[in-house]
Amino acid sequence: MKPFCIAIALLCVALNGMSQEEFVAPAAKMITRFGFTQLSGGIIIVHAKLDDNPDSLNFVLDTGSGGISLDSSTVDALHLKTVKTDRVIRGIAGMRTVDFTNGHILKLPGLTTTNMDFHINDYELLTSVYGIKIDGIIGYSFLRRYVVRIDYDNLEIEIYNPGSFKYPRGGYLLKPNFSTLPLQTAIIDDGHATMSRFIFDTGAGLCLLLSRDYVNDSSVFKKNKKFYPTQAEGLGGKSTMSVAVAKELRIGPYKFKKVPVHIFEDDYNVTSYPQLGGLIGNDIFRRFNVILNYPEQSIHIKPNAHFYERFDYSYTGLSMYLIDGEIRVIDVMPGSPGDKAGFLPGDIIFSVETNASKNIQTYKNLFQNSIGKVQVIIFRDNMPKALVIDVKDIRR
């Protein structure tokens, strides 16, 4: 063989050898598995302990949170040391400067995480909305340390240490942009398909939340689209919104038809428009089993048994909260079915149809699944009164 040919042959062998060598991270190993509670809209509640306190606390698992937080009343009850800061957090209904309580230990079943710095917020409103005490929110400060698998079929969470992860077959790997929040590209189509980035937000108990600026500038909705006034709760309090139905939502290869959409005035620039159009909430993502791999900046989604479940198209115009053990009507949208049925702010809801459980989650589910006439027994001025509300279908 000529020297030139020998050199080429040796080079090919060397290149082939190099191409077969690849550094692979050690396999991610499961640390723990535990159950969670699911509230309306897909909201995930996990139970954890703080430091050496014996009582379990209720945390929302929230990819829409850039940190980790505790409720101010929980901080007071546990007598935690706090530090004044100039850090500002913002949400759909306000902005506020927050204090911190630093250097804590968070104990989930089978997992202890140290050196956790919690910002402090007031979650009294969320407690009233969900009917259980909300002690805090687990967000980016925790999620960035682990790989988290959420199984909505079995209501279980698995937590792995970072490493090479083998994803299940039959799903799709999203590659969102990450700051502290995952920003996922999606397409909304209501006669005019528009693409934008949205916050992947497991802490939002709805399908889609769009800023009014995005809706107006993108012309995503037809000019004759019907909108209904409603209200939602978030950081800073309550926010008046509109709700409508979009023809289609596309995330990766997956499509959803007739998706409820909330539209809000983004007065506090939560979406940093035009960088983002809004957020995709957990009433979408609960329809997948999800793997949050923050260390690799990836999210794997695989359709689960809830993928084809109907969306919530019911419209009452009522805002209900659990206050002092009673489920009270706080707001009634003018011209809404609740207004037409005669509800007034301050009414105490005793029963919905034949259910008198005083469970706000149960009552909300009954309204959501009972489009048409629903009988409600209320107490007003300590006197019982029967009202019939004609729950509207927002698809019509």
Condensed to tens digits (0 to 9), the pLDDT of residues 28-77 reads 999 999 999 999 889 999 999 999 999 999 999 999 999 999 999 999 99
* pTM of the predicted structure, to 2 decimals: 0.90
Residue with tokens 């490493």: 163
The residues that bridge with 150 in the sheet, in sequence order, are 157, 290
Predicted pLDDT at 289: 98
Predicted pLDDT at 20: 55
Predicted pLDDT at 22: 63
Low-confidence ranges of the chain (pLDDT < 50): 1-15, 17-18
Predicted pLDDT at 15: 44
Predicted pLDDT at 2: 46
For the structural domain made of 314-393, what CATH number should be given?
2.30.42.10
Predicted pLDDT at 7: 44
Classified as helix, coil or strand, 66 is coil
Predicted pLDDT at 192: 87
Q: Cite the residue boundaries of each domain of the chain with CATH code 2.30.42.10.
A: 314-393
| Dihedral sign for Cα atoms in the order 138, 140, 146, 147 | positive
Q: Cite the residue boundaries of each domain of the chain with CATH code 2.40.70.10.
A: 30-160, 172-303
Judge whether 316 and 343 are in contact, CB under 8 Å: no
Contacts of residue 138, Cβ cutoff 8 Å, sequence gap at least 6: 46, 48, 59, 60, 61, 62, 65, 68, 106
Work out the end-to-end distance of the chain between its first and last CA atoms, rounded to an integer number of angstroms. 81
CA angle (28 as vertex; 27, 31 as ends), nearest 5 = 140
Predicted pLDDT at 3: 47
Predicted pLDDT at 4: 44
> Which tokens sit at 49?
């302990």
- Rounded to the nearest angstrom, the gap between the alpha carbon of residue 84 and the centroid of all alpha carbons in its chain is 28
Query: What's the rounded Cα separation, in Å, for the pair 140 and 257?
Result: 31
Q: Which homologous superfamily is 30-160 in?
A: Acid Proteases (2.40.70.10)
* E strand residue ranges, 161-281: 172-174, 177-178, 182-189, 193-200, 208-211, 228-234, 237-251, 254-264, 278-280
Domain 172-303: state its class.
Answer: mainly beta
Predicted pLDDT at 269: 84
Could you tell me if residue 295 is left (phi over 0), alpha (psi between -120 and 50 degrees) or otherwise beta?
A: alpha
Query: What's the rounded Cα separation, in Å, for the pair 354 and 343?
Result: 18
